[in-house]
């Protein structure tokens, strides 16, 4: 069966520090991968999606970047965190969008 892993579960980082969040998928090949952010009291915002290794599309300009070094690995990064980067980050995958999406357990990021 397919599973999706995100880590860490929680993270507290100072302003200006770097960030690396990792997401891996097991049990499937060539998944579409997504990073979403859920800010307090707001809906889910799509940040990045990837249809293959090294292929990254950005939905909104921001202080973050994404990379896909392996087929089932998706990484969210920042060189210097801002206070506004705080939020709940969710990774998701789909084999084909019409078949639905599966989400990870999320990472709670607090920038202080």
Partner 1 sequence: KQEVTQIPAALSVPEGENLVLNCSFTDSAIYNLQWFRQDPGKGLTSLLLIQSSQREQTSGRLNASLDKSSGRSTLYIAASQPGDSATYLCALYGNKLVFGAGTILRVKS
In the complex, least distance from residue 37 CB atom to partner 1, rounded to whole angstroms: 12
Pattern 36-75, partner 1, x by CB under 8 A? ------xxx-x-----------------------------
Candidate segments 13-21, 62-70, 73-81, 89-97, binder of partner 1 by CB under 8 A: 89-97
In the complex, least distance from residue 105 CB atom to partner 1, rounded to whole angstroms: 4
| DSSP string covering the chain | --EEEEE-SEEEE-TT--EEEEEEEES-SS-EEEEEEE-TTS-EEEEEEEEETTEEEESS--S-EEEEEETTEEEEEESS--GGG-EEEEEEEESSGGG--EE---EEEEE-
Candidate segments 14-22, 67-75, 76-84, 87-95, binder of partner 1 by CB under 8 A: 87-95
């Amino acid at each position: 069966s397919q599973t999706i892993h995100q880590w860490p579960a929680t993270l507290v980082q100072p302003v200006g520090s770097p960030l690396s969040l990792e997401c891996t998928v097991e049990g499937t090949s060539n998944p579409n991968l997504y990073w979403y952010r859920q800010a307090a009291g707001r809906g889910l915002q799509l940040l990045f999606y990837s249809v293959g290794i090294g292929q990254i599309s950005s939905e909104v300009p921001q202080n973050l970047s994404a990379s896909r070094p392996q087929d089932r690995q998706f990484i969210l990064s920042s060189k210097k965190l801002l206070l506004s980067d705080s939020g709940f980050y969710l990774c998701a995958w789909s084999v084909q969008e019409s078949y639905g999406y599966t989400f990870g357990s999320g990472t709670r990021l607090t920038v202080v």
